Amino acid sequence: MHTWLGYDDLPLYLDGWTRVAECYKRDNKYDCSTEEDCQSWHNDDYCRNFGTGGQGHDIAQSIFYKKATSSEPSSYRS
């Protein structure tokens, strides 16, 4: 997780992982915003602005997967 201007953001990209879904909402009355809705980035992995419905200030989730190999660590932490 990354903190930018006081908000916790989830990445849209992680090296070696494949993103299969994401949902960023300002609150429950909005539909999910996705990478396609990103209007500006604050680096290559985090969206700064999803427009009026997004931001991820209330609800944010990104789902990634990676095929495990015999050399994988026992856990992943950021």
Res. 77: pLDDT tops 80: no
Domain boundaries, the chain: 2-65
Q: What is the pLDDT of residues 19-55, one digit of tens each?
A: 999 888 877 777 888 888 888 887 778 887 777 655 5
User: Is a pLDDT exceeding 60 seen at residue 7?
Assistant: no
What pLDDT does residue 19 have?
92
The separation between the first and the last C-alpha atoms of the chain, rounded to the nearest angstrom, is: 7
At 54 the pLDDT is: 54
Q: How far apart are CA 40 and CA 55, in angstroms?
A: 11
Residue 13 has a pLDDT of 87
What is the four-CA torsion angle of 34, 61, 13, 47, rounded to 10 degrees? 50
Higher local confidence (pLDDT), 11 or 55: 11
